[in-house]
Structure 1
Amino acid sequence: MIKIKKKIFSKTKSLYFFIPPVFAAIFPILSFYLTNISELSLKFIGRPIFYSIIAAVTGTLLLSALTRNKNKASLIVSLVLLIFFSYGYLSRSLNDKLFIQLPNNIVLGPDKILLPIIFGLFIIFSAKVLKSAKPLIRIIVFLNVSLLFLVSYLSIAIIKTEYQKKDSTLTQPTQLQNKNLIAQKNTPDIYYIILDGYAREDILQKFYDYDNSEFIKSLEKMGFYVADFSRSNYIHTYLSLPSTLNMRYLDELPEKYGTNPVDESAARKLISENEVSKKLKDYGYTIINFASSWEGTGEGYKADITYKGDEYFKILGKNIAIDEANIIFLQTTLLSPLIKEVWGDALRSRILATLQKLPTIPYQEGKKFT
């Protein structure tokens, strides 16, 4: 029995060199999630952590086989992961500060300057590690303890906040009853179109020197009413949308939950289970939702039919289903230069897909709230 325990302990001890790269892969994902925990659901971290751990373990195994030194492989892979997951933050912080003006109005931005510098420093560090005759065990132990502490701290903070989010529910308004409406069969389809973040005419003219009058006049000719000097009830979508869809202000939100991240979680529950949709379903309406890249109008929104548009995301010639949260996370990594190139096209494709599908809604059977 003692021999078996010793063998298990020995095997476990022999795997210690995996800890730095694995924790180096997990830490930035947990950190990103905790920073944005009010806007994300727990399922967000599953896929990034899974693929990151696979990459960390595979990279460590391959490099240890090539170098025949587990500690050196562990250090180098940990550095690769550190660079990969922190590059986007570094690039963004230097966006207006690090650039080189060349002749013919050619500008080298931070990516074209940073990448060669970082690559050069990485080569120098790796060469020194590989040439070192020291066992490097002290550095590995230090990394193990440090990363274990950081990952544990983030995990506890996430568990605590998730527990608070489960209790963050707002009082639902009193149900209004109108039996006469239920009996009506010829009620019209309803379209609620949100041009999120679209500024009014005078703001576009004043701050962006853009004349939007032609678009406004075309809307008015089609019978739309366009309010002058209008304002949204809240400056953030996660507040204005539940307020509108529940036909009330959200004054109780800060009173009940303060200004902590639970605010958005509570508000988003009012989006997914809003009173307007509930009442219209009672009146026989089919609820149709065109999901945006924001999770609040995606899977969390309880509609009868949801058009996600994910199939229209073409990245590197392939259809890839990816949401805004994952894109923002990838922008914090070494993939940020690539994401900058393809994300605009992906968003454009989603919007065009919505515009292509929208005209078909009137031909669907029954009354619709879209």
Structure 2
Amino acid sequence: MDEFELEDNLEFILQSIQELIEDQGENNPFGEVNQNELLANLVNYDQDNLMPDVSVEDVVNGKDVQGIPWEKMLFPRDQYREMKMKGYKNYQNLSYAREDALQQDCKQVERDGPYYDFQYNTRRARLSIVHFQLRNLVWATTKHDVYTVHNQSMTHWSSLNQISTELINGDDCIIPKQRGHGSQSVSMVQFTTMAVDNDLLVVGGFHGELICKRLEDDGIVFSTRVTDDENAITNSLEIYQDPNGSRRLVVANNDCSVRIFDTKYFDLLNHYVFPWSVNSVSVNPDGTLFAVLGDHEDGLVVDPKCGKPIGKVRGHLDYSFSSAWHPDGNILATGSQDTTCRLWDIRNLSQSLAVLGGRLGSIRCIKFSSDGRFL
């Protein structure tokens, strides 16, 4: 690991320290810390202790799971984390008193054992997320295959051979193999979201770009801009099977639209418009219902055949960004900037079944385990 890579990995910590020092003034817990001196101290740290990977054995021997040399930071991880959490302010679009409005509603959940056990950490798989509201920029299809975005590059990381392979370069002029059906070249694409299903990788961009790649083939099979609207960001993508068994792609954009494409020729099959920017669309297990969430407190349950709402979920106090369906299709989970996740029985949407309070900030991504036991 060279000096520049080390600086890149630790820059966010140093910036956070500086912010905490300024916020706390003379009462800051770190004492007089010179940022340049601290950075130089870290860069000169024993290179043998800055290996790009961290194993279980390394952690047992005292190494930090992220490989951060806290002993050179003049304070421990726990102290840094405590101060960072105290200074954290959750972003809100709407004004509300969280403590008064939500605290009594939230179900008390006891913490049990860890869901995951630490196995391995690597810095070889690089990732960059340019905006805090972007989601689904990391996607794992197996325990060995991970898809990530780093700068303008969409990459595949294999944990088996420890190799990262570029699949799409957003800086290039992307020329699709397939012509017609609305296909067009795109370039200078800044990735905002993605989805992967079997052999198909789909990627969205800040200006309404949609890029589709079949993983077993070279090149890009389809690309386009789904809208020319100024507020065009592609917020979410989901690949699913409709009730007839055909594979479809549903695309949600900031232009208040949801679009459905087939995944053979990428024809636009349906285009539905809603009263607000659409941040998320999730599809129930049998492909008969959409959960549509966006820049509004309420969410909609929609019939994908006609785009008409057949139900509404009411209870969140801010915009919503994520949802997920239980494998049995009867329970819908929604996540909001009001820092809560709500569970709904799709057979009776009059009120939520439960309200789960987040530990700190907005709920921007929700998934059920495949057996439905965990959320």
| TM-score category (smaller protein) | under 0.3
Answer with 1 or 2: which has the greater Rg.
Answer: 1
TM, length-normalised to structure 1: 0.24
- RCO (CA 8 Å, sep 6+): is it higher in 1 or 2? 1
